[in-house]
Amino acid sequence: MSTSSTKHDPSAATDAPTVAAPAATVMDPPSTATISAAAANETAETAAPNTEDRGRHPLPPGLDPALLEGLSKNARKKLIKDHQWQLKKAERVVHRRDERKAKAEKRRLMREQGLELPPRRGPVVKPEDMVPSGVTLLIDLDFDGKMIDKEIKSMCKQLLYCYAANRRTTRPVMLACAGMSAELEKTVETQIAEYKNWPNFPFHRESYTSAPGIDRSSLVYLTADSPNVLTHLEPGTTYVIGGIVDHNRHKRLCLDRANKDGVKHAQLPIGEFVALNSRKVLTINQCVEIMINVLQNGNDWKAAFETVIPQRKFKEGARNGSAEPQDRDEGQDDDEDAVAEEAGEKSAGSSASTKRLLGGQDADGADADVERDSKRLKADGESASSDADRPSA
């Protein structure tokens, strides 16, 4: 029996499929034109203004993205915030108008039902009930170069409260501002656009020593650095208040200015009547309110201080004691947050001190009320240049 053997032929074909290796893809080098186009697109994307503030916050409508180029992070945030405030200004006006209509309707229904009406805010005194005091309070605005934007805005709000306070007294003073630069005027128009319609509260470009209708010899600059203390307010005298909000950076600023200009100076007699905490903060409008109260209450300085200055500023148990003289100029403020608090305005909403300064009115309605008061005074025939309210020469 023969045995057959089978020899393996390596060259023999097999039924197993053969997997071919993938062929290498050979890419052509990019042309010079392609490289140039890509570089141009990248440059254009980099140079194009970012419409989302570097991808973090979408920009409000109407704000040109090009305005943000080259600005720091804080500057961009400030610009966006200011633009958003302007966009919502019209909405606030409509909202205030609707609120006034709703309140008027509520009071009408309460009258029909015989219910007791809630008290209104402090009434605006009619012109025929006013007796001009003959005293002029002149606010020196020639300090805008020494304040940052936030401080200038706080100062503008304080001017509004000065006007409101003078509208609610039977012994009004002649209010005026002097030394307003063209740059400051732009900010004032943004913050209180209706100021040009305020009767008996003119804003002058001239310095406080040469303002129209002001007798230079009648000037008395109020500064806490002065050794002279006021005892009473004299008709025919113009008392100058430094229109500055600062962090107490500028020492003896108003006193040095008064001495340089050869103007008399004095300080309010706070230390003679009340004792305050270490923080002697007086805003511009508080200086004005104190002097208006003194004229109306018969020269009672103590009552005026206690009415205007917040109670928390008095030393505990020392209401009748004496206090050291103020370490700052009248009308200045060494704390920016205190300015906002004392003037009654924080960055959002209104506070109790706002309602006190405006007779119970919310800060959001202050602009509309001031404008309405201005129109009412004009209708009553009161002129912005009334000789009756000017001091005698």
Domain boundaries, the chain: 47-116, 132-389
As a whole number of angstroms, the distance between CA 265 and CA 29 comes to: 84
Q: Under 8 Å CB-to-CB from 208, ≥6 apart: which residues? A: 138, 140, 142, 178, 179, 214, 219, 240
| Average pLDDT, integer, range 15-37 | 53
As a whole number of angstroms, the distance between CA 295 and CA 53 comes to: 53
3-state secondary structure of 327: coil
| Average pLDDT, integer, range 291-309 | 93
| Average pLDDT, integer, range 95-119 | 87
User: Nearest-CA neighbor of 203 among 246, 163, 254?
Assistant: 163
Tell me if 49 sits within 8 A of 66, measured CB to CB. Answer: yes
Q: Under 8 Å CB-to-CB from 240, ≥6 apart: which residues? A: 138, 139, 140, 208, 219, 220, 221, 222, 254, 258, 263
Q: Under 8 Å CB-to-CB from 87, ≥6 apart: which residues? A: 60, 61, 62
Q: Using the CB atoms, write b or e for 105-122: b if 16+ within 10 Å.
A: eeeeeeeeeeeeeeeeeb
- Residues belonging to the active site: 246
Instruction: Look at residue 57 in the predicted model and tell me its pLDDT.
Output: 62
Mean residue pLDDT across the chain: 73
Right CATH number for 132-389 from 3.40.50.300, 3.40.1280.30, 3.10.270.10, 3.90.79.10? 3.40.1280.30
What's 304's DSSP letter? Answer: H
pLDDT in tens, 263-296: 999 999 988 888 877 555 588 999 999 999 999 9
pTM of the model: 0.59
Tell me if 152 sits within 8 A of 144, measured CB to CB. Answer: yes
User: Rounded to 5 degrees, what are φ and ψ at 149?
Assistant: -60, -40
Tell me if 265 sits within 8 A of 222, measured CB to CB. Answer: yes
Tell me if 295 sits within 8 A of 134, measured CB to CB. Answer: no
User: Rounded to 5 degrees, what are φ and ψ at 229?
Assistant: -120, 130
DSSP 80-143: HHHHHHHHHHHHHHHHHHHHHHHHHHHHHHHHHTTPPPPPPSPPPPPGGG----S-EEEEE-TT
Tell me how crowded residue 144 is: count the other CB atoms within 10 A of its CB. 20
User: Nearest-CA neighbor of 177 among 201, 210, 209?
Assistant: 201
Task: Give residue 365's pLDDT band: very low, low, confident or very high (50, 70, 90).
Answer: very low
pLDDT at 225 over 60: yes
pLDDT at 61 over 90: no
Task: Give residue 30's pLDDT band: very low, low, confident or very high (50, 70, 90).
Answer: low
Instruction: Look at residue 38 in the predicted model and tell me its pLDDT.
Output: 54
pLDDT at 239 over 90: yes
128 versus 47: which is more confidently predicted?
A: 128
215 versus 363: which is more confidently predicted?
A: 215
Instruction: Look at residue 37 in the predicted model and tell me its pLDDT.
Output: 55
Q: What is the largest CA-CA distance in the chain?
A: 155
